[in-house]
Chain A
Amino acid sequence: MVELERSYMSSLNVIDLRTHERGPYSLSIAPGECVSLRGDSGSGKSLLLRAIADLDPHEGQVLLDNMPVTQFTAPQWRKRVALLPAESQWWQDEVGAHFPTEECPWFEPLGFGTETMRWQVSRLSSGEKQRLALARILMNKPRVLLLDEPTASLDANNVITVERLIDEYRHTTDAAVLWVSHDAQQATRVGNRHLQLTTKGIREDLA
């Protein structure tokens, strides 16, 4: 399917991260590894992802390939360490206006065609928005993917499609993936390792 340059070895390191009076959180993800993250609602999963993407003020260190976040400008960092939020936002009328190019290599594997670029955002279903938001963030060729419930509003078929696509992206680009999921089965399916977020920090979930 899609041809991608094999990028540099990605790896994400989070050391003693504190944000919004939570933490310290530490975790690391090897190149090409997918780590699932679970935690009760309100435990701060989304806040953790926001801090890693440098969207919120935080203490502690976040490194990409051993380079601290401060070595990058904020836009450079967020293109490399990409956050896919639970609810995507669209601010133009047409889908295509949110994409840097007229062709998106991720449309076909996600079940869209070239005409999708001309679709009206106001008529998209929540499932379509979620898949298109994934295609949109992948256009930046991120080296770390922070996924916040990326299949929450998808039907069973599309859940499989999206899981396959992320799996393929990870293997072809050696990207590191942190996948927040409420679904224990999905976590087991997609993750090489599993983490549990508590108020005290992060622990390895062996169950």
Chain B
Amino acid sequence: MITLSAVDLSLAAGLVLAMAALSWRMQLGLSGQLLIAGTRTVVQLLLIGLVLKALFANVDLLWVTGISLVMLLAAGREVMARQQRRFTGWWGFGMGTGAMFISSFAITVLALTTMVATDPWYDPQYAVPLLGMLLGNTMSGIALALDRLTTTAWQQRAIIEQRLMLGAARLDAIAEIRREAMRSGMMPIINSMAAAGLVSLPGMMTGQILAGSPPLEAVKYQILIMFLISAGTGFGVTAALWLASKRLFDDRDRLRLDKLSGPRR
């Protein structure tokens, strides 16, 4: 494997600086954001690199659990931040976080104990990247699906209530909206499975190949990851939508949009 030197990275950073200068000249208003995001990348990735280095040196279930929880909470916060109208109170955070916990954690543990079969099963070299990829994708799916569900319910309030007036139960009254939300949550992973290898080389596979793995070994890992991600996203989105759909109504099947916050500016 060819290791990168500080000079190599500085050259790449120079490209970002050049783009920022161009944006400043063209008054796109992007240069600030671009520089801040670039700096964040450097700092965050260096930090996680150090954390992973320490983690790999001391294989300990407690440490792996700790970092997993930090990743989960960060993903939960991200899901909440991406909602136009989020559920008020604890639910706004708990709904997405809970759904990610049961799907991503269960599937990661299953993969580690059966498919990848590392020893010990929580070996951080496998556990942390695997969980990270699952959480990242499940997070996007859940955020999209929840946002779709709540904004559509808000827009179609009159229709949902009309159906309730005609005697529909709550889950029947939003069945179509739920289905649409499910589709928008699952679309990204379905698309990337369909396009894998044709349109794009998936990032993880590319990384393994760059690191010197035989291409077919990298491909097998990528297939495994894609399958895990699609199952994890599917279960996670299903769970989140189930919780959210129930939460949009009360026990008398009344539509309770007062449980949602106002639109985010």
If A87-B158, A88-B162 touch, whether A75 touches B167 (CB-CB below 8 Å) is yes
Segment of A6-14, A50-58, A165-173 in the binding face: A50-58
Confirm or deny: B78 has a beta carbon within 8 angstroms of a beta carbon on chain A.
no
Segment of B62-70, B81-89, B215-223, B249-257 in the binding face: B249-257
Per-residue interface assignment for chain A, residues 64 to 95, with 1 indicating a CB less than 8 Å from any chain B CB and 0 otherwise: 00000000011110110011010111010000
If A54-B254, A57-B250 touch, whether A140 touches B167 (CB-CB below 8 Å) is yes
Considering the complex, give the chain B residue whose CB is closest to the CB of A140.
B167
B252 near A74 with CB under 8 A, answer yes
Q: How far is the CA of A126 from the CA of B161 in the complex (A)?
A: 19
Across the interface, B254 reaches (CB within 8 A) one of A73, A74, A87, A137, namely A74
Across the interface, B253 reaches (CB within 8 A) one of A75, A83, A89, namely A75
If A87-B158, A91-B159 touch, whether A55 touches B169 (CB-CB below 8 Å) is no
How many CB-defined contacts (below 8 Å) exist between A and B?
52
If A89-B158, A89-B159 touch, whether A140 touches B166 (CB-CB below 8 Å) is yes
Confirm or deny: B163 has a beta carbon within 8 angstroms of a beta carbon on chain A.
yes
Q: How far is the CA of A82 from the CA of B254 in the complex (A)?
A: 15
Question: What total of chain B residues lie within 8 Å of the partner, measured CB to CB?
Answer: 19
Confirm or deny: B168 has a beta carbon within 8 angstroms of a beta carbon on chain A.
yes
B169 near A57 with CB under 8 A, answer no
**Which residues of B are found within 8 Å of A131, using beta-carbon distances?**
none
Confirm or deny: B231 has a beta carbon within 8 angstroms of a beta carbon on chain A.
no
- Nearest chain A CB to B153's CB is how many angstroms away? 13
Considering the complex, give the chain B residue whose CB is closest to the CB of A80.
B167
**Which residues of B are found within 8 Å of A87, using beta-carbon distances?**
158
A78 near B167 with CB under 8 A, answer yes
Confirm or deny: A136 has a beta carbon within 8 angstroms of a beta carbon on chain B.
yes
**Which residues of A are found within 8 Å of B163, using beta-carbon distances?**
91
- Nearest chain B CB to A31's CB is how many angstroms away? 21
Confirm or deny: B164 has a beta carbon within 8 angstroms of a beta carbon on chain A.
yes
**Which residues of B are found within 8 Å of A57, using beta-carbon distances?**
250, 252, 254
B165 near A53 with CB under 8 A, answer yes
Across the interface, B165 reaches (CB within 8 A) one of A73, A76, A82, namely A82
If A54-B254, A74-B253 touch, whether A85 touches B162 (CB-CB below 8 Å) is yes
Q: How far is the CA of A159 from the CA of B235 in the complex (A)?
A: 53
**Which residues of B are found within 8 Å of A85, using beta-carbon distances?**
162, 165
Q: Which residues of B contact A (CB under 8 A)?
A: 156, 158-159, 161-170, 176, 250, 252-255
Q: Which residues of A contact B (CB under 8 A)?
A: 53-57, 73-76, 78-79, 82-83, 85, 87-89, 91, 136-137, 140
Query: Apart from A57-B252, A73-B253, A74-B254, what 15 extra A-B contacts exist at CB < 8 Å?
Result: A53-B165, A56-B254, A57-B250, A73-B169, A74-B164, A75-B164, A75-B167, A75-B253, A78-B165, A78-B167, A79-B166, A85-B162, A85-B165, A89-B158, A91-B176
Can you sample 22 A-B contacts with CB below 8 Å?
A53-B165, A54-B252, A57-B252, A73-B253, A74-B253, A75-B164, A75-B168, A75-B253, A78-B164, A78-B165, A78-B166, A78-B167, A82-B165, A83-B165, A85-B162, A87-B158, A88-B162, A89-B161, A91-B156, A91-B176, A137-B166, A140-B166
